[in-house]
Amino acid sequence: MRKIKAIMLLLVVIIRLAVQWNIEPVQAADKYIKVGDFIEYIVKQMNWQVDKTSKDPYIDVAIEKGILKKGDFNDYSVYLTRTDAAVIANRLDELIHLKYGYPEDVYEFLKDCTLFNNKLFYSTEGKFYPKGATRETYPEEQFNDEVVLSLMHKTFQKKDLPSTGFRTKYKYIYDNDGNILKRYMEIGQIPLDKTSGDVDPFDKDSEIIKAWNIIHDGERQVKAVLEKRISDIKAIPKSKREAVAAIVAKGIIKGYSNGKYITNREFRGNNKITKKGAKNVIQMVLNPKTRSKISPDGQLIRTTNLPKNAKDYPYILASFPNDYYEMKYSFMLLDDYLTGKMRRDEYAYPKEVDYKFLYNNFYHNKLTLEIGKYGYYDEMLSNVEKYLQHIFNVDYRTVNKKWKEGLASSLSFYSWQDFIYEDIDSYVENIKKNRIVVELDKIAIDPGAIYESREYLRVRAYVRYRVKANDMNVPSDQLIFGSDISNLKKSAWREEIFDIFIDDRYEDYIYKLSPTPFIPLSNFAYIVSFK
């Protein structure tokens, strides 16, 4: 009898396992969405009319609308990947919202223009300028009528166009020997004095200039995502990378965190996307207000668990912890600030240091047509990163002339201050004698945390590093170039936040914003902020 009961119990267990085994694959399959079902969901959400007599009515209308292209898929019954969801969603977004809200041809034209002194400059190498044409064969008035007026009048309302009308003239860039380097069409408005042959800048509040800024800021953001913000971008087919970057930049698909102070995220493009996730993607295309917020340089912004002083910043990055933002600003450590003697116009919080602030206070009279709107800003951040890469990444066994020149080129000093090269040589002698190795693990900079103190900018940076040396009981500037860092321990990994002092230099018509070698890099503010 016992034997029969045991056999019966075993049969029950086997039956239950078999039933569960059959159910689980079905449940797993139901979790994900197939390409055809995704397309059907989009068509229904858009209320597009379908031909019910067609074999594939939803596929046909999707191809007709342009969100699907012939050859995208060989089989619409396969499960949809995250990459293909992004590609289709981006096409739908551009169909509904256009390119940053502008028609394709206007987007292409303004994208290829340079903005300088509130005038547009279109290169004669662009597609809207006839190939092989010259000033003699293609007068500036013809370009004005056929291209500028045609595009602007069909896009912008009459009240948004210059009241005096558009004017276009050829503009040449020459080298020192008088040779033409580049040809542009200079575009602006007719001066009030119509007898003048000049091109006046557009008004400050011009909708055309606003459109240029929206398009170029958007393109910078997508470019940043494409180049820096997707850690597994190489796993995505080249033909689909730009669409994936665009959908990330728009805050429609966030990806997955790679950890604290990591400035990129994992997309996992080859993974299947769930039904819920796919439908959510389309809802965010249809309702832009529901999208995640993305910083100008393409990083995910968080809106919860914010630092105590979040109001000081334009945004807070998701991967940066609160300590990064809550560290005291250097001006808060000055006696004048502590005693209330420091004037409010002597410092500026990060939220105040926007492009307009930088332009007005640092380089409004230094910009050129060739440098462009963000030239000095991008160069400054590049110099900061280069500086940190050098001082926190040096080995007595491999340090060489290239390292020394690289460090010097990242710093701000005048040609007559050539003693800086002597300081670098002296540092190199010390690290060789003391067998010093400075090892860098990570640098993270949020451009939204730049602030100003008494006419000097500070760029905040997180650094994880360690130092090895025969003798650690020496001044820190012998261990790490130009530093005043306390309590360095041999081989111990350190995580610190530094505010890097930025100085500007203008010499031989070259302007530069970069770290100064005259103010030591210090961890004092970090220590007193969290002691």
Q: How far apart are the first and last CA of the chain?
A: 75
Which regions of 71-204 does DSSP assign to beta strands (E)?
A: 113-116, 119-123, 166-174, 180-189
Tokens of 112: 């290829």
Distances (CA, A) of 385 to 337, 404, 424, 450: 29, 15, 18, 14
What is the spatial distance between Cα 510 and Cα 220, in angstroms, rounded to a whole number? 24
State the CB neighbour count (10 A cutoff) for residue 6: 10
Q: pTM, whole model, 2 decimals?
A: 0.91
| Mean local confidence (pLDDT), 125-141 | 95
What's the longest Cα–Cα distance across the chain? 116
Chain mean pLDDT for the chain:
94
What are the DSSP calls for 311-334, one per residue? GGSS--BTTS-HHHHHSPPGGGGS
Q: Which of 12-21, 180-189, 244-253 bottoms out in mean pLDDT, i.e. has the lowest?
A: 12-21
Residue where the block lists tokens 């440098």: 371
User: Can you give the pLDDT at residue 14?
Assistant: 57
* 431-469 pLDDT tens trace: 999 999 999 999 999 999 999 999 999 999 999 999 999
Q: Assign 379 a pLDDT band (cuts: 50, 70, 90).
A: very high
Quote the DSSP letter at residue 290.
G
Domain borders along the chain are 119-203, 330-530
Tokens of 402: 């290239």
